[in-house]
């Protein structure tokens, strides 16, 4: 098959994966709501742009993100580079999270709803620090070969404890932060890094140790956001007590 044939085939595959979303939307629009489709030409153009954009995104992952992660993991998998690998995981976790579109969207909405009480940039930094710490701990675990469940169970136990202490209005946002961080930019690079390290480290299972690294990027942001909320709540209470005196 020619190169153009492969491109057309890949575009069709993306269209096939996205088509159910369009079918559901059109079904409820025409059958349930019984309404005409507003701006049909614009919606059709947007759907076409979506298909092409997703195709280019997948191509970009295969050509750019995955090779970078795998190459870095192969170079850093040597025991002599252990500290540099942990430092790289920390830095790349922070950088990718700060660039994550889903996190940006969530934090902007949080700032709007809270009338500026929750600053988007500050919240993004707190989440990014959580991901950075999580990846650093996860890479350390791959090198040491410790059981994955101990770290994850300890992480979620900490989340439950902080949930009880934190202000209730921040809890849903903290939980969401663990989901939006494992999205379009972070996951491909983290997966490539984890799989590369697990494949090049003797005695490690890529399926468990490699993909397990993503779990660290999910649980630790919840810990940092809840921890920050608890800290600020404690500071405010101490200031109030001081003012009363």
Residue 193 has a pLDDT of: 83
pTM: 0.78
pLDDT of residue 179: 78
Q: What's the pLDDT score for residue 73? A: 67
DSSP track, the chain: --HHHHHHHHHHHHHHHHHHHHHHHHHIIIIIS--PPTTHHHHHHHHHHHHHHHHHHHHHIIIIIHHHHHHHHHHHTSGGGHHHHHHHHHHHHHHHHHT-HHHHHHHHHHHHHTTTSS-HHHHHHHHHHHHHHHHHHHHHHHHHT--HHHHHHHHHHHHHHHHHHS-GGGHHHHHHHHHHTSSTTHHHHHHHHHHHHHHHSTT--IIIIIHHHHHHHHHHHHHHHHHHHHHHHHHHHHHHHHHH-
| pLDDT at residue 231, as a whole number | 92
| Residues comprising the chain, all counted | 245
User: Going residue by residue through the chain (245 aa), what tens digit of pLDDT does each one get?
Assistant: 566 677 777 788 888 888 888 888 888 888 888 888 788 888 888 888 888 888 887 787 777 766 776 677 667 666 677 888 899 889 988 988 998 888 888 888 888 888 777 888 899 999 999 999 999 999 999 988 899 999 999 999 999 999 999 988 889 989 988 778 877 778 878 888 888 888 878 888 888 888 888 889 899 999 999 999 999 888 888 888 777 66
The pair of three-digit structure tokens given for residue 133, joined into one six-digit string: 């710490």
Whole-number pLDDT of residue 219 = 93
Please report the sign of the dihedral spanned by the C-alpha atoms of residue 165, residue 131, residue 79, residue 145. Answer: positive
Rounded-to-integer distance, Cα 141 and Cα 213, Å: 9
Angle, CA 239 vertex, CA 236 and CA 240 arms, to 5°: 85
User: In terms of Cα–Cα distance, which of 55, 43, 44, 41 is closest to 6?
Assistant: 55
pLDDT at site 1: 53
Q: Is 140 exposed, middle or buried (0-12, 13-18, 19+ CB in 10 A)?
A: middle
């Amino acid at each position: 098959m020619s190169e153009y044939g492969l491109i057309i085939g890949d575009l069709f595959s993306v269209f096939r994966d996205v088509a159910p979303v369009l079918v559901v939307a059109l079904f409820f629009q025409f059958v349930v709501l019984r309404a005409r489709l507003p701006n049909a030409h614009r919606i059709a153009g947007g759907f076409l742009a979506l298909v092409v954009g997703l195709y280019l995104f997948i191509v970009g992952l295969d050509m750019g993100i995955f090779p970078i992660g795998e190459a870095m993991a192969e170079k850093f998998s040597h025991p002599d580079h252990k500290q540099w690998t942990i430092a790289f995981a920390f830095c790349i976790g922070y950088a990718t999270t700060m660039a994550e579109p889903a996190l940006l969207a969530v934090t902007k909405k949080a700032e709007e709803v809270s009338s500026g009480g929750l600053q988007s940039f500050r919240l993004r930094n707190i989440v990014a620090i959580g991901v950075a710490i999580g990846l650093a701990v996860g890479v350390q675990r791959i090198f040491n070969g410790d059981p994955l469940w101990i770290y994850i169970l300890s992480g979620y136990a900490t989340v439950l404890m902080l949930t009880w202490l934190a202000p209730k209005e921040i809890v849903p946002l903290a939980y969401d932060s663990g989901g939006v961080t494992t999205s379009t930019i972070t996951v491909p690079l983290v997966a490539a890094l984890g799989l590369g390290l697990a494949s090049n480290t003797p005695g490690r299972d890529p399926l468990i140790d490699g993909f397990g690294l993503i779990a660290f990027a999910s649980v630790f942001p919840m810990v940092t956001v809840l921890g920050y909320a608890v800290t600020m709540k404690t500071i405010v209470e101490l200031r109030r007590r001081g003012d009363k005196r």
